[in-house]
Amino acid sequence: MAKRTPLISGNWKMHHDHLEAIRVMQKLNFRLPLDAYKTVDVSVHPPFTDLRALQTLIDVDEMSIILGAQHCHWEDKGAFTGEVSPAFLKKLNVSLVIAGHSERRELFHETDEMVNKKVLAILKHEMTPILCCGETLDEREANEADAKVQAQVTAGLNGVAPGDVARLVIAYEPIWAIGTGRTATAADAQAMCKIVRDTVKNVGGSDAAAGVRVQYGGSVKPANIKELMEMPDIDGALVGGASLDPDEFAAIVTY
């Protein structure tokens, strides 16, 4: 089976105001050769305050970089102070939305049910969810990693039509490797990403499993991206800190 087109996504988290975001985006676009987009999809996920500026920049400069968001609420509108509607993101030409990032789960106590509602809302507005899953160090050491990831993926896909499952992105991000400088070995990352794909097969069938793109996230760097991308079930990367630097991120994209 041929591998799917890789997706390399930069999650800027709570970094870069809109002026910094414009500068970083321009540098990144300059450093990525046009040929790169023939073999890989590239997305950036800035803070909400940067989205309009980057949407305009992408349109005016005819960039091939995909605009993404880090989070959304599951309702289109309502009394949810501080939240952002998926309908609003769609109006900004956002194509990809992260759902259930480990920091949202750990720091803001998002449950599997909440993440599933977001996945359904993102699909409703014809955007693509990046559904995140992953285990803590304690869970890994207790041999609970497989069950944790299977449960998160199964819950996240609840109610999603098989045809929609196939166009999702699922990011496996070991929580113990995010921002710590530690990373799973390529073999360990592959083993967990295969569990993700096997779980998708159980939920949505063989076609869904063949179509879904599975990213690895967790201290991805220029030094380890090639080895990770050689694994059969790894179709891209969800990059955190390294995506803040256009030189580093471009080196990852052009691995």
Whether the Cβ atoms of residue 58 and residue 50 lie closer than 8 Å to each other: no
253: exposed, middle or buried (Cβ count in 10 Å: 0-12, 13-18, 19+):
buried
Dihedral sign, Cα of residue 222, residue 225, residue 227, residue 229? negative
Whether the Cβ atoms of residue 193 and residue 172 lie closer than 8 Å to each other: yes
15: exposed, middle or buried (Cβ count in 10 Å: 0-12, 13-18, 19+):
middle
In order, the DSSP letters of 4-70 are PPPEEEEE-TT---HHHHHHHHHHHHHHS-GGGGGT-EEEEE--GGGHHHHHHHHHHTT--PEEEES
Is 83 assigned a catalytic role? no
Is 173 assigned a catalytic role? yes
Q: Which of 71, 101, 103, 110 is catalytic?
A: 101
Active-site residues, by number, are: 101, 173
